Structure 1
Amino acid sequence: MTNRQWLMTGAVVALLLMLPLFLPNFWLANILGRAMVYGIVALSLTFLAHYGGFISLAQTMMAGVAGYAVAMMAPTAIPLGPFAMSYGYAIPLAVLAATLTGALVGLIAVNTREIYLLMITLALAVGFSLFAQSNTQWFRGYEGIRNIVGPEVFGMPFRTHLVFYYVALITAVLLYLLVLYVVRTPFGLALQAIRDSARRTSAIGFSVALHRIGAFALAGFIAGCGGVLITFYNIGITPSSIGLWPTVAVLIMAVIGGLGHPVGAFLGALIYAVMDTFASSIIGHDRFNTLIGLVFLTIVLVSPDGVWGIGKRLAGLGGGKEPVSDPVAKLTAGGK
């Protein structure tokens, strides 16, 4: 990013840090906090789509693996599982499970492209949801696992509005910065080079398969962090929370916000959260899907790079292009 973009990012983060002084608790937890935790899952999709060149519909599954893992190990779970332990151990193990799941998805889908990649990742996501729904011993079937309230933070319950908001904000910012850092490392440059020309990148000695699997593993890590926070937000997890519609909803968030930059994931999640909170109560939940579909179609037709692209054009920051135009050349130059 340019210096101007870094300054804008810092200003936005500073504003978000001060918002609790002005906004009621409802907005902090149910709008902004919710948008950030779902935006983290959308961020994992945006990372794969923009820098890897492949759109995965398995991100909700990865988040769900982390959600179910932390729920099965949570000391407050109802019903209490046989692997109950403190949240200090359960959370890292849950994120690790999502990371390994991401690597496994990458291994399965490493040789697929475009519509075939979409279909195989969608099949994995739906398959996991159906498995969770039918399994009563570990995943508790339709009922799911409840009372996943999260750990105490500085002696305050995680469900406290300020605690949840700031934890979600800090996690979102750190993961956002992680993505911006990774895409400028040799791994990130190689991933973008593979996106542009897999054959050319392979010819200079990089393993296309290993980089793609690594990208899915990193996306699984990001989605896992979001999945744990979503489970705390919902105070539990059920198969319906990782089913087909949540899977599509994450894709809608990413596309509405803009797949051309990581911040688009959070913009799309915020728009979705606002519409889901207010529009569905006005027009009825049954018609909400129609409304979000029309918004999705309009934004795609008006601006294929989403709200982020519209904002960049209005601000005169360029057409949303990344500063590295030829990752292969960048790699052969030693990343300079």
Structure 2
Amino acid sequence: MAAAQWRKAMNSAAAASAARGRPVLAPAPASLPMPEAPTADAWKTAWRRLDPGQLLVLVALLVFPFVASPFVTFQVGAQSLVLGMIALSLSFLAGYGGMISLAQMTVAGVAGYSLAVLGNSSSAEISLGWPWWLAVPVAIFIAVLASTLIGWLSVRTEGIYTIMITLAIGVAFYYLVLQNYSVFNGFQGLRELHPPKLLGLDWRSSIPFYGLSLACALAAYGLVCHVVRTPFGIALQGIRDNPRRMSALGYSVVSHRVAAYALSGLIAAVGGVLLAWYNALISPGSVGTSWLINILVIAVLGGVRHPVGAFLGALVFVLLQTFAIDLIDRERFNLVIGGVFLAIVLFSPDGLLGLWARLAARLRPARAMRTSNQRRQP
């Protein structure tokens, strides 16, 4: 059932109840409305909804690797898209589910380590040598299971307790891979993780890897935009706003939240596979406490309530991380990132997109006044 049909049915039931003079609760679904896979009609509808500005951004993303240097394409463009996908999984949980998880990089790390153990790496005695077309789906499946388990453990809490549980899980995974040498190769990690060579292309070179990252990022963005308009997404937002009322209406709050964790785990897992290929390694440093916090910083920078904000925040973070060294000492470039983060949080709690919306709202009356004055002039 489409989201519009679902809302129409609920409104019709409420109107009929009011006409009879007695209140009736909206009927609870017989089963949990799982996220619907985007159909061909859904993709066509999403394409029609694109405004000229979004089309311009899409064209710019497609043209970008052909006008930028290989370093900028790979180091800035591809890395921003990969980190943006992992931050998007957090934005989906926080913006539409009201759940802040610090374990999204942990889920991505589970996917990366699973890929390294199941596929090929520098440690032949550890890696099983599976073909990529089998290792990648299994690695993503393992990461989704891990995300579902994390959700099952944490959704029964709220606020600071959810943050602490997910942080504890992330720290536990970090020490697990750091101290285990027989499976994860300890602090050295697993190296020489390369994407497969298909169609005669080296997919780790700048333009092919950027194209692969862009395709995955657009798919993840489209999936989130589609899911939030489905009955499942609408129910999830209702649970975010008032879980007690949704529970009284018959919706399973825990089931919806765990399903949201599973979906976010899918997005983070794909980002984790791409991140392992981008770095050509997976190590404890990739899933350390600093990166658990960095994903939260990226999501907040762009705006947690906007799916595109994750990619905007990732772009700002990568630019600062790449070029802040030219402005300040290498050991202190995190000070610049922290200062920018603090400034954005103080002046715009909704991130850069919220700041842009506020500026646009202020400029709109002034523009309208200038237009009105020009019309009055003879």
Alpha-carbon distance in 2 for matches of 1:315, 1:92: 43
- Letter paired with 1:230: L
Answer yes or no: is the 8 Å Cα contact 2:118–2:135 preserved in 1: yes
Aligned counterpart, 2:318: 273
Aligned counterpart, 1:78: 122
Larger radius of gyration, structure 1 or 2?
Answer: 2
Aligned counterpart, 2:39: none
Aligned counterpart, 1:169: 214
Answer yes or no: is the 8 Å Cα contact 2:119–2:127 preserved in 1: no
For 1:83-102, list aligned pairs within 5 A: 83-102=128-147
Give the CA deviation at 1:2. 11
Query: Which residue of 209, 230, 234 maps to 1:189?
Result: 234
Give the CA deviation at 1:34. 0.4
Aligned counterpart, 2:286: 241
Give the CA deviation at 1:78. 0.6
Answer yes or no: is the 8 Å Cα contact 2:100–2:163 preserved in 1: yes
Are positions 1:125 and 2:170 aligned together? yes
Query: Which residue of 225, 243, 246 maps to 1:201?
Result: 246
Aligned counterpart, 1:264: 309
Query: Which residue of 60, 67, 92 maps to 1:47?
Result: 92
Query: Which residue of 44, 58, 73 maps to 1:13?
Result: 58
- Letter paired with 2:310: A
What are structure 2's unaligned runs of at least 5 residues?
Answer: 1-45, 364-378
Give the CA deviation at 1:15. 1.2
Answer yes or no: is the 8 Å Cα contact 1:71–1:145 preserved in 2: yes
Tell me the alpha carbon deviations over residues 222-272 of structure 1, each in whole angstroms, 9 at most, x when there is no partner: 100110000000001100111000111111111111112011100010001
Query: Which residue of 299, 307, 315 maps to 2:344?
Result: 299
Alpha-carbon distance in 2 for matches of 1:283, 1:117: 36
Secondary structure class of the residue paired with 2:171? helix
- Letter paired with 1:34: Q
Give the CA deviation at 1:282. 3.0
Are positions 1:229 and 2:303 aligned together? no
Alpha-carbon distance in 1 for matches of 2:362, 2:264: 28
- Letter paired with 1:286: E
Tell me the alpha carbon deviations over residues 162-190 of structure 1, each in whole angstroms, 9 at most, x when there is no partner: 11000001100110000000011111111
Give the CA deviation at 1:6. 4.1
Answer yes or no: is the 8 Å Cα contact 2:116–2:127 preserved in 1: no
Runs of 4+ residues over 6 Å off in structure 1: 1-4
Alpha-carbon distance in 1 for matches of 2:198, 2:319: 27
Secondary structure class of the residue paired with 1:283? coil
TM-score (norm 2): 0.81
Are positions 1:38 and 2:83 aligned together? yes
Tell me the alpha carbon deviations over residues 179-203 of structure 1, each in whole angstroms, 9 at most, x when there is no partner: 0000111111111000011111112
Specify whether residues 294 and 212 from structure 1 end up closer, same or farther in structure 2 by C-alpha distance, changes over 3 A only: same
- Letter paired with 1:166: G
Give the CA deviation at 1:312. 2.6
Give the CA deviation at 1:67. 0.5
Are positions 1:60 and 2:105 aligned together? yes
- Letter paired with 1:152: K
Alpha-carbon distance in 1 for matches of 2:269, 2:278: 14
Specify whether residues 92 and 218 from structure 1 end up closer, same or farther in structure 2 by C-alpha distance, changes over 3 A only: same
Give the CA deviation at 1:279. 0.4
Identity of aligned residues (%): 44
- Letter paired with 2:321: D
Answer yes or no: is the 8 Å Cα contact 1:29–1:165 preserved in 2: yes
Alpha-carbon distance in 1 for matches of 2:146, 2:53: 35
- Letter paired with 2:174: S
Answer yes or no: is the 8 Å Cα contact 1:260–1:309 preserved in 2: no
Question: RMSD of aligned C-alpha atoms?
Answer: 1.8
Aligned counterpart, 1:116: 161
Secondary structure class of the residue paired with 2:327? helix
Alpha-carbon distance in 1 for matches of 2:181, 2:338: 34
Are positions 1:288 and 2:345 aligned together? no
Aligned counterpart, 2:183: 138
